[in-house]
Amino acid sequence: MNFDRKTFLRSMGLGALGLITARALPGMEAEPDSSNGLPIWDDANPEAFWREVRAQFPMTPRRTYFNTGGLGPASRRVLDMYTVASRQLQERVETGHDFFAQARVIVAQYLSAKTDSVCFVRNATEGNCVVATGIELQAADEVILDSHAHPGGSFPWLNRQRTEGIVVKTFEPDPLSAAGNLERIAALITHRTRVIQVSHITSPTGIIMPVAEIGKLAEKHHAWFHVDGAQSAGMIPVNMATLGCDSFATSGHKWIGGPHETGLLWIRASKMDQIIPRQVGAYSSIDVDLNNPGPFVYSQGAHRFEYGTRNAASVLALAEAMRFQNEIGRDRIAARGHALADQVRAGLQKIDSVEILTPADPALCGSIVTFRSPKLVYGKIFERLLADHHLRTRPVAEVGLDAIRVSTHLFNSREECDRLVGAVGEVLAKA
Ligand SMILES: Cc1ncc(COP(=O)(O)O)c(C=O)c1O
């Protein structure tokens, strides 16, 4: 266990139950440490640095992973935090609820947000749902979405369309320009528009949306602006202070590298009361004496949306994933993922019949490349890459795209990207 982490573990434990500091507790087995410290970044030898980063991910060597957009792997540090915290909380039979407040500080720093504006949810879908169910709408009020929205972003609104008669309107993301996306949204706005929601980075083809500009458009039309950031947080740095939206939801278990079933929701403090909590319980409100009830008052801040017993080990491990990324450098991670995606793109472009769907403009793309070929249906390309070459990509069936999505993240290597390109060439040559 390196010094920084020990210090962190200690600081997370003190003031609460002394948890996580297993070595300091009598009768407790010392916790094994499976992580190595990160090497110092050396401009002259970046690959050596990334090899050490990779070594911190206990991923099976039997296949090569290019699907962080679906689910990201957690590093040893994160898994250690999760297992140590889980076991110690179980041993003491405590919920560790106090750790939520401590983890929230780290998470808020990661998002450049006020601590009170962030709450822990179970996945991006749940964060999207809190907003989509909580905002007051009348029948015939309109919500604008991108047509590439993931079901975790679109279904909550489609459900309100079904149950309450709101109107969901969609625009197809423009892969060519940020201005094109603004125009497409503007063309859908009417006097009934109440909400605009976009995927910060679209799931099927990885298009980056001009969120700051869309935010200004939404503000001009007094519409709530929600960003589904499941594909952005952890791939690129995200900053709630400058993003220009009213609310932002993300997964913890994709690009951030947190444990499964983690997510975050941020809501602008000044607009918090516009989202009605639809599920409440202990911690959503100040204590109420049912024999002498006063008004039911929500807790200060976004944690009014958290209720009941939760898994403190997950939020501690999510915070650890963020510390891990901060230590590596979030701009560095974004640049690495992007460079690897560029490498994949450049290789795929040399293969006859391959069409790249992800824009090449660096302002519009990050660490995702989606491609297709008329020579072979996407499902078959996916199958062959997995079965014959042990390469895990993601088939893209959405909106008839018939494509394959490749996600490149901090643990991928240049050699893996070359191998992927070679395998696609081979699969298509045999088709
Ligand atoms: C844009 C977007 N939103 C939401 C989701 C759903 O994420 P979760 O499984 O964390 O709810 C995904 C998953 O791929 C996604 O890409």
Q: List pLDDT tens digits, range 257-305.
A: 999 999 999 999 999 999 999 999 999 998 788 998 788 999 999 999 9
Residue among 231, 367, 370, 398 whose CB has most ligand 1 atoms within 8 A, to mutate: 231
- The whole-number pLDDT of residue 3 equals 32
Rounded CA gap, 154 and 241, in Å? 25
How far is the centre of ligand 1, averaged over its atoms, from the C-alpha of 152 (Å)? 5
Higher per-residue confidence, 30 vs 242: 242
pTM for the model: 0.93
Is the pLDDT at 376 greater than 50? The verdict is yes
Angle at 312 between CA 308 and CA 314, to 5 degrees: 115
Rounded CA gap, 215 and 182, in Å? 10
How far is the centre of ligand 1, averaged over its atoms, from the C-alpha of 211 (Å)? 18
Would you state the CATH architecture of domain 330-430? Alpha-Beta Complex (3.90)
- Asked if 218 and 225 count as a contact pair (C-beta separation under 8 A), the reply is yes
Closest approach atom of ligand 1 to CA 250 = 10
- The whole-number pLDDT of residue 25 equals 29
How far is the centre of ligand 1, averaged over its atoms, from the C-alpha of 101 (Å)? 25
How far is the centre of ligand 1, averaged over its atoms, from the C-alpha of 251 (Å)? 7
Reported as a pLDDT band with limits 50, 70 and 90, residue 17 is very low
What contacts 70, CB < 8 A, 6 or more positions away? Answer: 254, 394, 407
Length of the chain measured in residues: 431
- Asked if 398 and 231 count as a contact pair (C-beta separation under 8 A), the reply is no
Closest approach atom of ligand 1 to CA 200 = 1
- The whole-number pLDDT of residue 39 equals 81
Residue closest by Cα to atom 4 of ligand 1: 152
What contacts 213, CB < 8 A, 6 or more positions away? Answer: 178, 182, 244
- The whole-number pLDDT of residue 15 equals 34
pLDDT tens-digit map of 42-69: 999 999 999 999 999 999 999 999 999 9
* Pocket-forming residues, ligand 1, beta carbon under 6 Å: 70, 123-125, 150, 152-153, 199, 203, 228, 230-231, 251, 263
Q: How many CB atoms neighbour CB 134 within 10 A?
A: 16
Reported as a pLDDT band with limits 50, 70 and 90, residue 79 is very high
